[in-house]
Amino acid sequence: MSAPPRSIRTAVLLVLALALAACSGGGLRPNARNTGPAGPPTRGGSLSTYTNQQFFSFDPKDVQVPIFGAQGGYMAAIYGLLFYVDHKTDKVRPDLGESLTSEPGCRTWNLKLRDGVRFSDGTPLDAQAVKTNYERIQDPAGHSPLAVHLAGVKMKTAGDRTLRLTLPAPNCQFDVVAANNLSFVASPTAIKKQGKQFYANPVGAGPFRLQTWNRSAGSATVVRNPSYFRSGQPYLDKITFTYATNATTALNTLLRGQVQLSGALFDTTTYDKAVAQGLATRTIPANGGAAIQFNTLRKPFDKLCARQVVAYGLDPAAMSKALNKSKLLGGPTHTLFQPGSPFYDPRLRFPSNDRAKATAYAKQCQSQGDPVRFTILANAGVDQQAAEYVASRLNTIPGVHAAIRVISVAQAATVVFLHRDFQLVFYPGAMMFGDPVPQLSSWLMTKGAVNITGYSNKQMDAALAEGQSAHDVAARRTAYEQVQRLWIRDLPFWMYAKAQYYFVFAKNVAGVDPVNPGNELLRWNLVGYAGKAG
Amino acid sequence: MAGYLLRRGLHLVLVLLLVTVAVSALLDLMPGDPALTILGTTASKADVAALDHQLGLDRPFAVRYASWLVASVHGDLGQSVITKQPVLQAIQQGLPITLEIVALALVIALAVAVPVAAYCARRPGGATDVTATGLSSVLLSLPAFVGGIVLLYLLAVVVPVVPVGGWVAFTEDPAANLHAAILPAVVIALGPCAGFFRVLRADMITTLQQDFVLTARAKGLPTRYILLRHALRPSLFTLVTTAGLTVGGLISASFIVDVIFQLPGLGNITVQAINTKDIPIVQGVTVFIAFVYVAANAVVDLTYAVLDPRVQRP
């Protein structure tokens, strides 16, 4: 899994930025605010759900970050998951696959497949099929967003059911990376047969197969795959995924029962309203949280003192209270990892809320000839309020001048990710993760895929690499303690509010048990209606 | 007549050219990059540049426009950058929904406005007339998005008599189709309904003061008969013209209700395309609608020309 996706052009972004949604894990546990029926569902029924992203491809190589609200929802239905990360244990579990184990040193991994699993076109899901899919991801001509996870990886089949993957460097968390990013596998026969049209005619081995894709309507319907390898599953006959373009309508359709399930939509108030109306819910806390990112390559934030002005000049509690519209989700954070994570340490608090220090650092910057004058880049309608809050607070500190530049959501990805044309930005809002591999690395490592702050520190790179290559929890804990200390010292970004992903759904929908902390996918074969089918 | 047709044809071509240049230029200036939508935020500048090249987005504006124009003249409006769907197919899928909503809205607006206007014209200044005129002022000043959200809340949430959103094709289930279309149609019909009422009421009041109406009254004909058989027909000319012109406004308003009610009409298609900077879709839909507008105006002009040959003179 990599950074929060952008594609989203609108809604997923809104979710990531505003809703403090999307992710969890790393030892975190779903909190107690979970409702819904217990016990296995009954067979039959149709279910409607929302996506936050326009459909543009059903090809596994085109998946950006397979989060539920984006492509992950429908891709998981069509392709199933080779492996997944169990929320309860944080262990990688097999689904379509049989095992994913490393040899000593964590450089070579053996991906073993189940015997007898077939794609819906009748061809076998074997080692060669996985290899073909992974090679498509690696092919530069395919422009796959997942290529970063297979960069430099060499593959060789060992019999029909085993694929040996040799990584360019040891990674004891590669199973987590694979479960989150490389779990969708398509039929090579179908890929060859369909050619360039495969993106619209997917064939997987998951519990459902694509029936219709109405591109104009932004909806897709999947129907039960009769050849799914788990007998008696899936429970549902049909699922319709619709691109939600309007928050009010989306919420109202949920309340009216026209749509039975949704991941985080637009903002956290959706969750509050759903709870108030008695819908069933799942909430999943996350590490990280809503963040402010500094461009460490530009004045004034190339100086640590300027970053400290912002950190000490703001109070996470007051800021969270002012900006979070939900009464049930979120809350201030003072640490990078959250309680429940093996890497959480309450002593490792980042700097905040000390006006005297903020003033002193502002003076320090000024004395060095670099006054703390900057512009906050804000997404229109997304984090404009947050920008105004920050500017209003920081402008009361002598020597600080914060202005605001508002840009459109459509513009944000290009400005921030492509051109890095900012000084301080909220986008993409919440930086949330389960296991720190690979997300935290992608933000903090010098060559991290979404290191938009330009932060570069060899000690940090080494600590993150150690956290990735270390096998036992104690060694990883030591590595991530060092990561947190360096982050607190250098402050390439600063956080203020906790993040939680959530699902809201009809009371009779069962099996809403997300997997893959950070991506929150559903195993659709387990979802259905308790009692009479809906 | 041949000269007139030629002038109208040239006018049509000129308008379409101007509209397409303006839309294409605006889209070109619009921020964002479809390649980033497809590749995600982890994409490098090189990857984005490569995909831009592959999609032809790195060519100069003039080259892209010229190439699109040539293809369009040959009936090829291109395909979506994001979904790869042919633009014509997208229009074909969205158009029936938009047309149905617009037609239904027009019918609703006329069905309400005509009898109410006729009734009010009978006693101008009466309680009903004052109430209806006041209400029409409110409706005329009410934007479609406000009316849409309020009615959505009242009729789909508080008293759930219609669905909140979504669409069912007429061919799939005619009753469910009408159920899904009725509220969006009512929302965009509110403004035109008030406008039609005002126009017809005023015309009918004037007509009812004509001598032939007085004669009819003197003959003892029933009021309803006079209203419907003598006064209504000669009062309809302005209404018919206004109704024709309102179709354009209804198409625009349908874009708003498409988003509010999540209808898969041309409006939703266009809004999604704008969000992802899917230029071919926006260009295609805009050109299509401009063509419909211009063609409709041309037909009206031609009708005038047939009715009154004086308008053919340059």
Using the Cβ of A406 and the Cβ atoms of chain B, whether some distance falls under 8 Å is answered with no
pLDDT of residue B51: 81
Chain A residues near residue B271 by CB distance under 8 angstroms: 245
Out of A242-246, A345-349, B265-269, least confident range: A242-246
Segments making up each domain of chain B, as ranges: 2-73, 87-307
A370, with CB counted inside 10 A (0-12, 13-18, 19+), is middle
d(C-alpha A320, C-alpha A495), whole Å: 10
Quickly count helices (H) and strands (E) in chain A.
15, 21
B158 is written with which tokens? 């508080």
Is some CB atom of chain A closer than 8 A to the CB atom of B176?
A: no
Secondary structure class of B82 (helix, strand, coil): coil
Distance between CA atoms of B234 and B118, rounded to whole angstroms? 12
SS3 A448: coil
Please, what is the average pLDDT of chain A?
Answer: 86
Residue A230, pLDDT score:
94
d(CA B262, CA A241) in angstroms, rounded, equals: 13
Chain B residues lying within 8 Å of A200, measured CB to CB: 84
CB contact under 8 A, A410 and B31: yes
CB A73 within 8 A of CB A16: no
* Whole-Å CA distances, A525 to A87, A236, A285, A428, B179: 17, 8, 24, 32, 33
B36 vs A contacts (CB less than 8 Å): 6-7, 413-414, 417-418
Q: Of A39, A14, A34, whose CA–CA distance to A24 is shortest?
A: A34
Q: Rounded CA gap, B70 and A510, in Å?
A: 55
Q: Is A380 on the interface with B (CB under 8 A)?
A: no
* pLDDT band, residue A490 (cuts 50/70/90): very high
Q: What is the pTM of this model?
A: 0.80
What mean pLDDT comes out for the span A463-489? 92
Residue A33's pLDDT is 56
User: Could you give the dihedral angle defined by the CA atoms of residues A63, A67, A68 and A69, in that order, rounded to the nearest 10 degrees?
Assistant: -90
pLDDT at A429: 67
Name the closest residue on chain B to residue A61, using Cα atoms. B39
**Secondary structure (3-state) at A282:** strand
Dump pLDDT digits (tens) for A89-148. Answer: 888 999 999 999 999 989 999 999 999 999 999 999 999 999 999 999 999 888 888 888
Report how far Cα A211 is from the mean position of its chain's Cα atoms: 27
Residues forming a β-bridge with A221: A212, A240
- With CB atoms and an 8 Å threshold, state whether B157 touches A243: no
At residue A501, does pLDDT exceed 70?
yes
Reported as a pLDDT band with limits 50, 70 and 90, residue A6 is very low
B168/A contact by beta carbon, under 8 A: no
The per-residue pLDDT for range A365-378, each reduced to its tens digit, is 999 999 999 999 99
pLDDT of res. A25: 34
Contact between A375 and A295 (Cβ < 8 Å): no
Q: Which one is predicted more confidently, B91 or A249?
A: B91
Find which of B29, B41, B164, B288 to mutate to test the A interface (most A CBs within 10 Å of its CB).
B41
Has residue A26 got a pLDDT over 50?
no
CA distance B290 to A218: 24
Q: Is A10 an 8 Å CB contact of chain B?
A: yes
ipTM, interface predicted TM-score of the complex: 0.70
- Please say whether the beta carbons of B258 and B188 come within 8 A: no
d(CA A71, CA A56): 9
Say yes or no for a CB contact (<8 Å) between B165 and A4.
no
SS3 label, residue A493: strand
Chain A from 40 to 59: CB within 8 A of any B CB: 54-57
For residues A24-46, b (16+ Cβ closer than 10 Å) or e, as one string? Answer: bbbbbebeeeeebbeeebeeebe
Which residues, at least 6 apart from B112, have a Cβ–Cβ distance to it below 8 Å? B189, B193, B197
Residue A65 has what pLDDT?
A: 67
Mean pLDDT (whole number) for A163-180: 93
Chain A nearest C-alpha distance from B93 (Å):
7
Cβ(A475)–Cβ(A483) under 8 Å?
no
Q: How confident is the model at residue A10 (pLDDT cuts 50, 70, 90)?
A: very low
Q: Long-range contacts for A509-513 (Cβ within 8 Å, ≥24 apart)?
A: A509/A36, A509/A37, A509/A47, A509/A260, A509/A261, A509/A280, A509/A534, A510/A36, A510/A37, A510/A38, A510/A39, A510/A40, A510/A41, A511/A40, A511/A41, A511/A235, A512/A36, A512/A261, A512/A280, A512/A282, A513/A87, A513/A282
Are residues A145 and B39, on separate chains, in Cβ contact within 8 Å? yes
Contact flag B93-A214 (C-beta cutoff 8 Å) = yes
Interchain contact B151–A (C-beta under 8 A): no
Asked if B156 is an interface residue toward chain A (Cβ–Cβ < 8 A), one would say yes
Say yes or no: B39 contacts chain A, CB-CB below 8 A: yes
Q: What is the model's pLDDT at position A266?
A: 60
The values of phi and psi at residue A470, to 5°, are -70, 145
Omega within 30 of 0 (cis) for the link into A234: yes
Residue of B nearest to A253 (CA): B164
Cβ distance A373 to A423 under 8 Å? no
Give the pLDDT mean for A281-298.
89
Lowest mean pLDDT among A47-51, A408-412, A483-487, B188-192: A408-412
Contact A241, A51 (CB under 8 A): yes
**Chain A window 125-144: which residues touch B at a Cβ cutoff of 8 Å?**
143
For position B307, what pLDDT does the model report? 57
Within chain B, which residues score under 70 in pLDDT? 1, 31, 300, 303-314
**Are the CB atoms for A337 and A287 separated by under 8 Å?**
yes
CATH 1.10.3470.10 describes domain B87-307: no
Substitution target in B29, B42, B271 with the highest count of A β-carbons within 10 Å is: B42
**Shortest CB distance from B43 goes to which of A65, A145, A246?**
A145
Q: Give the whole-angstrom CA distance, residue B302 versus residue B295.
A: 10
* DSSP H or E stretch at residue A374: strand A372-379
What is A96-119 written as a DSSP string? SEEEEEEPTTSSEEEEEE-TT-B-
**Residues A8, A13, A15, A21: what is their CA dihedral angle, to the nearest 10 degrees?**
100
